[in-house]
Structure 1
């Protein structure tokens, strides 16, 4: 990672000028999934902070990490761009956490990948969305489909429960079958490693975090170069250029990978 204000400005410029190669596509759709409390909503807020240049509260992250998922509804988050009515040509969908009995059903995630889930659908842990439900989109456009799947996981989390791991593997396999590219983000890196907490620039020098990445890679099968380390904005009241750099690096990869996939559709 190249640190410093100049690199941050280059990344910001790249993101601000980005347009999908496929003209049929309004926006690259990024689907975030992972266990409860991993930081999915916080990541959307953090991206919004960096692009607005100020602290925001768009995706309403929950500060209590109870075992209940804060996100219950399938919702598309757009990010405002300069000028009235303008939005960036990429969007985020945040889905309910992958808890054991009360979390999102993998069948619903598979339907979302193909664009069959309409905005506002309330996840039901008991039964999946059926094709007769008003929230079922029977003829999704290329813009409704997911163009990149991003798994978000807490670097501090104890060993993953086998049931959650199984769900994550199923989602990953479904995305692989559709050819959807995948990335993973390990969040809360500052509290996982003392040296990184002191100085964020130590993030890719940390042996502890490297081991975490290796463990995560082997348990889920995501290659190391597709795993990014992240600190979301959580308790800060002003922006930090090092945090911004990590967020923008991740965002650039997401929209590039998603754009390559969307171009083939």
Structure 2
């Protein structure tokens, strides 16, 4: 999985170098670090420039190598963690729309479109693969089938046994059917409540992804619900002690580099917010970049 990275600037000094306005709701002194744990600029002009650059890169994205029509990103997580909300947020940030393809409650895919309705060169799929069996979850073997591209539109996930035959099972999947980047979706606010059984299931899926060489990222959702300072001001996300600690916890729990953990706040059902857009678009572009890394390794 690679070596874990250490957080940058997580030392909490008594005298803070940077002064911020406090509010009655949030004690910033206790909630924020002396130095950011990830570098980023939130100057309005810089945010606008960065957003335009991300929009250009994402809308003009073409899978590297010219051997694949579209990259496939798989978001895997429990019900309610924000998989579908991320797809919606990405669409809002892009100022476009998306179309959900035929599928099932356990596994479905979305085609994100450009502002003119043109289909972009990637597909965002989502899978309910982390719930316990009997609670809407699917077997690790079936997650492996998704990663390998065996799962078609009409595939039936069986509660008693993994499906290796029957309707919807692709025996000879194409590269386009396979997953090119795997993203674990976890709630920032509930990171401390991850059960041993869930950890075991994630580890089993990681082993499958490692064998296939599929890059893995973590989407850490609902960061505003995990930290009052971030809820008060989203641009404090990389200064937040709570988010820094949760990011470190995920890195250690899953043995994933901190740079592979992407904190986001999903859009509410309202007009897009520039700061939210930056986090969502940055995460989406990182997924596409990782998919390209996978395709390059194939060559």
Q: Shared fold (TM-score greater than 0.5)?
A: yes
Matched, 1:98 2:141: no
Q: CA deviation at 1:57?
A: 8.0
Equivalent residue number for residue 107 of structure 1: 141
Q: Give structure 2 stretches of 5+ with no counterpart.
A: 1-39
Is the 8 Å Cα contact of residues 107 and 127 (structure 2) preserved in structure 1? Answer: yes
Equivalent residue number for residue 217 of structure 2: 183
Q: CA deviation at 1:127?
A: 2.3
Q: Secondary structure at the match of 2:63?
A: coil
Tell me how large the CA RMSD over aligned residues is.
1.9
Q: 1:152 aligns with which of 156, 179, 185?
A: 185
Give the alignment's TM-score, normalised by structure 1. Answer: 0.88
Equivalent residue number for residue 65 of structure 1: none
Deviations 1:132-167 (A, max 9, x none): 211111111111111000000001114201111111
Q: 2:60 aligns with which of 17, 27, 32?
A: 17
Q: CA deviation at 1:241?
A: 0.6
For residues 107 and 219 of structure 2, what CA distance do their matches in structure 1 show?
Answer: 20
Give the alignment's TM-score, normalised by structure 2. Answer: 0.79
Give the 3 Å change call, closer, same or farther, for CA 125–96 of structure 1 in structure 2: farther
**Count of residue correspondences:** 250
Q: Secondary structure at the match of 2:65?
A: coil
Equivalent residue number for residue 66 of structure 1: none
Q: Secondary structure at the match of 1:89?
A: strand
Give the 3 Å change call, closer, same or farther, for CA 155–107 of structure 1 in structure 2: same
Q: CA deviation at 1:7?
A: 1.1
Equivalent residue number for residue 290 of structure 2: 257
Deviations 1:101-129 (A, max 9, x none): 32121111111111111124343333212
Give the 3 Å change call, closer, same or farther, for CA 199–120 of structure 1 in structure 2: farther
Matches within 5 A, 1:1-265: 1-3=40-42, 4-53=47-96, 72-83=105-116, 86-102=118-134, 103-130=137-164, 132-157=165-190, 158-233=192-267, 235-265=268-298
Q: CA deviation at 1:191?
A: 0.8
For residues 200 and 161 of structure 2, what CA distance do their matches in structure 1 show?
Answer: 18
Q: Give structure 1 stretches of 5+ with no counterpart.
A: 60-70
For residues 124 and 210 of structure 1, what CA distance do their matches in structure 2 show?
Answer: 39
Which of these two proteins has the greater Rg computed from alpha carbons? Answer: 2
